[in-house]
Structure 1
Amino acid sequence: MVDSSGLPGPLAALQPLLDHYGYAALALLVALDNMLVPVPGQTLLIVAAVYAGTGRMNVLAVAVVAWIAAAAGAEIAYLLGRREGTRLITRFGRYVRLTPERYAKAEDFYRRRGSKVVVVARFVDVLRQTNGLLAGSNEMPHRRFTLWNAVGAAAWVAAWTALGYTAGTDIGPLYRQALRYQFVLLVAVALAIVCAVLRAWWRARKRQREES
């Protein structure tokens, strides 16, 4: 068993899952983490990579299992969004001020820039869990989503597996630093969305003034 003394609390707390259930636990939590359920799949992936670095798990198996689980989880969320997303948004969108006009703009945004969103979203909490649903509800073409979903899952798994595998039980400081960067990325994404919304609103106001 890997000594937990070098691991920060969130990582050490998940060690029993790998000790008892191994790759099955990794597959389940990673899939759920990419499928609307806020479970610590990313954290367990890092612990599995640390295990691989000490020889307790196989690093290639960790990467392949996590990649398949991440891609599959997002695919399921996509299909749910494709079937039920529009109905749910139409029914409940007004409670979050998501009007049909704003939803139409979101659809257009996903059609034009959805590929980048699908890849980058993997590295941002909340977006990682909801990315598939949003892509499906906004009718991003399935083949296009599947391709970029696989690419994004591969990049996400490769980054965290490499970090855990190379750092080993000394991962504590690197993990905390990575979380800080992830928070900064989340803020940057939020600001980008706000700027995009404001830009669209300004253009709409400008067109209205020109037409009047």
Structure 2
Amino acid sequence: MHIQEWLETIPAVSIYLLVGLVIGLESLGIPLPGEIVLVSSALLASQHGEIDPVVLGICASAGAIVGDSVGYAIGRRGGKPLLEGLGRRFPKHFGPQHVAQAERAFEKWGMWAVFFGRFVALLRIFAGPLAGVLHMPYWKFLVANVLGGILWAGGTTAVIYSIGIVAEPWLKGFSWVALLLALVIGLTVTLVLRSRMKKAAAAEDERRTAAATAE
């Protein structure tokens, strides 16, 4: 059963709670399809009046902010051993190369890595715990977390809901087209950002190597 078809079988209140919970757990550091659930729910809201997009956006934002904050607290308490343990449990998401890539992003961008990380699948999972592990000042983390969480969750809800409203007269039973389009756009943006991050990391490694050789 398609995720949107399943969502149609549960009450609106359950959808709000589900979106907040899944996004919260993903932000906490557990690899879950938070963005897919949010997109599907926002698209469903455009087709069913009983689902309030404002409430949906608020729940998604709250889940993102609270989940990231809990992840920060866990990371600050658990330190590097926490990331190593997650690496053994989720090697496809928390492998050494993923941790190294995220650390380089944090070293270069600081609190902005938390903000922009909300829009990148890999950093969205890492942001909270890694900020805690690296002992980023909490006030900086909180500012970036709140702004990024609201813009990502609220913005995604608003955009997908609007797409659903505009496309409904043409798509009718083919609402999955809008979902697919949104996912393709999101994937493209993610790949572009990851490519730029890798190039920046490679350039930084070359600079450090050159500096070490000169010494």
Shorter-chain TM-score tier: 0.7 to 0.9
Tell me the residue number matched to 1:46. 39
Tell me the residue number matched to 2:144. 148
TM-score by length of 1: 0.77
Structure 2 unaligned regions, length at least 5: 88-94
Alignment counterpart, residue 160 of structure 1, candidates 108, 133, 156: 156
Task: Give the share of equivalent positions with the same residue, in percent.
Answer: 23
Map Cα deviations across residues 165-200 of structure 1 (whole Å, 9 max, x no partner): 221454432321222222222222322232232222
Quote how far apart the aligned CAs of 1:112 are.
5.1
User: Which secondary structure does the structure 2 equivalent of 1:16 belong to?
Assistant: coil
Tell me the residue number matched to 1:135. 131
Aligned residues: 199
CA 1:141–1:111 in structure 2 vs 1: closer, same or farther (change >3 Å)?
Answer: farther
User: Which secondary structure does the structure 1 equivalent of 2:136 belong to?
Assistant: coil
Tell me the residue number matched to 1:96. 96
User: Which secondary structure does the structure 1 equivalent of 2:207 belong to?
Assistant: helix
CA 1:91–1:48 in structure 2 vs 1: closer, same or farther (change >3 Å)?
Answer: closer
Map Cα deviations across residues 97-117 of structure 1 (whole Å, 9 max, x no partner): 799xx79x947x536512322
- Tell whether the 8 Å contact from 2:68 to 2:128 is kept in structure 1 after alignment: yes
Tell me the residue number matched to 1:63. 57
Alignment counterpart, residue 179 of structure 2, candidates 153, 168, 175: 175
* Separation in structure 1 between the aligned mates of residue 19 and residue 84 of structure 2, nearest angstrom: 35
Structure label with greater radius of gyration: 1
User: Which secondary structure does the structure 2 equivalent of 1:34 belong to?
Assistant: helix
CA 1:97–1:57 in structure 2 vs 1: closer, same or farther (change >3 Å)?
Answer: closer
TM-score by length of 2: 0.76
Corresponding position: 1:24 with 2:17: yes
Amino acid at match of 1:161: T
* Separation in structure 2 between the aligned mates of residue 51 and residue 208 of structure 1, nearest angstrom: 55
* Separation in structure 2 between the aligned mates of residue 208 and residue 135 of structure 1, nearest angstrom: 28
Structure 1 unaligned regions, length at least 5: 1-7
Deviates more, 1:40-49 or 1:126-135: 40-49
* Separation in structure 1 between the aligned mates of residue 96 and residue 63 of structure 2, nearest angstrom: 31
CA 1:182–1:131 in structure 2 vs 1: closer, same or farther (change >3 Å)?
Answer: same
Corresponding position: 1:188 with 2:181: no
- Tell whether the 8 Å contact from 2:23 to 2:35 is kept in structure 1 after alignment: yes
CA 1:209–1:48 in structure 2 vs 1: closer, same or farther (change >3 Å)?
Answer: closer
Corresponding position: 1:117 with 2:113: yes
Alpha carbon RMSD of aligned pairs, Å?
Answer: 3.2
Map Cα deviations across residues 44-89 of structure 1 (whole Å, 9 max, x no partner): 3233323433311222211212111110011111111111133345
Deviates more, 1:63-72 or 1:179-188: 179-188
- Tell whether the 8 Å contact from 1:85 to 1:137 is kept in structure 2 after alignment: yes
Amino acid at match of 2:195: L
* Separation in structure 1 between the aligned mates of residue 188 and residue 206 of structure 2, nearest angstrom: 27
* Separation in structure 2 between the aligned mates of residue 119 and residue 50 of structure 1, nearest angstrom: 25
